[in-house]
Amino acid sequence: MYAKCGAVHTARKLFDMTDDKHVTTWNAMIDGYGTHGFGKEAVELFDEMQKGHTKPNQVTFLSIISACSHSGFIEKGRQYFTIMTEEYGLEPSMDHYGAMVDLLGRAGMLEEAWGFIQSMPVKPEINVYGAMLGACKIHRNVDFGEMAAEKLFELGPDDGGYHVLLANVYATASMWDKVAKVRSLMEKTGIQKTPGCTLVDLKNEVHSFYSGSINHPQSKRIYSYLEKLMDKIKAAGYVPDTNSIHDVEDDVQEQLLNSHSEKLAIAFALLNTSPGTPIHIRKNLRVCGDCHSATKYISLVTKRAIIVRDMRRFHHFKDGTCSCGDYW
């Protein structure tokens, strides 16, 4: 619970206080380290587990391979996938295969990731091709991205998230005609994009922010403050990432970026908490590259720790850096 709420160090204290540790106790702590980007700690804990009497199970290996993926520990991840079957006799599930594709793809090893998919002894499912497409977006690889998307659309043609991801792959390559085709297909088939939403818990109330929304009671104050904040972080070195936006003027591009849900949520939290108080926000999608960059600078100029939980992991921003080391 503590790890899932962002308090991974408190979780470790409770873990250390537990005398009779069940396999689920170890799994929870290893997974907690992984989702927070503390790969080194996850590996050390897994090694400690192996030396004890508690045998790792399938969940343990999924957690440690995922932790390696988040931290770029390629060789360690490969090693754990191998010993899972050879030393412990555990059969990989589809989630393990997806984690391995994510491990290789996130590191830019797209050819090896695709070869891994082709060599799987079972038919790949959506999560496997989804990991591949996500890696293609990160590394701006259109060719593999199109191949992964073709398989995804065969398996789950109504999933709007993967259509948006393919459109983003095209956008990073400035292939705007293909971006338009994907969006047109979504409109014709009625496929909906999941709107980005960021939540802030404050004084026993949950405040929801959507990109461009103006229906919050403090909207005017939030946008006014955010405009000044953007000027401050630009002066500190922040450069807006407008690669995913086209066909509008430069100032409009920045306005669209500045109204992203996580920026609105952070501005609201800064306005409604005392100086020095850490900020916790949650987003239903993956944090975008521009918001990730902006949040680093916001943590720098405001001298606030900002903890962001997105759909995949935690990001701890402090003094202009992120715990993920920009590997996410």
Q: What is the pTM of this model?
A: 0.86
pLDDT of residue 245: 53
- What is the CATH number that goes with domain 8-189? 1.25.40.10
Q: How far apart are CA 221 and CA 271, in angstroms?
A: 9
The pairs formed by 89-95 with CB atoms below 8 angstroms and a separation of 24 or more are 90/57, 90/58, 90/61, 91/58, 93/58, 93/62, 94/122, 94/124, 94/125, 94/127, 94/128, 95/62, 95/127
- Residue ranges, CATH 1.25.40.10, the chain: 8-189
pLDDT in tens, the chain (328 residues): 777 877 788 999 999 999 889 999 999 999 999 999 899 999 999 999 999 999 999 999 999 999 999 999 999 999 999 999 999 999 999 999 999 999 999 999 999 999 999 999 999 999 999 999 999 999 999 999 999 999 999 997 777 889 999 999 998 888 999 999 999 989 888 888 888 899 999 988 999 999 888 999 999 999 999 999 999 999 999 998 866 554 434 444 556 667 899 999 999 999 999 999 999 999 998 888 899 999 999 999 999 999 999 988 999 999 999 988 888 7
pLDDT of residue 254: 54
Pseudo-torsion of CA 92, 93, 99, 105, nearest 10°? Answer: 80
Are the beta carbons of 267 and 207 closer than 8 angstroms?
no
pLDDT of residue 2: 76
Question: Three-state SS for 36?
Answer: coil
pLDDT of residue 304: 97
pLDDT of residue 253: 52
Fill in the DSSP letter of residue 192. Answer: P
pLDDT of residue 246: 44
306: phi > 0 → left, psi -120 to 50 → alpha, else beta; which? Answer: beta
Query: Based on the number of CB atoms within 10 Å of its own CB, is 53 exposed (0-12), middle (13-18) or buried (19 or more)?
Result: exposed
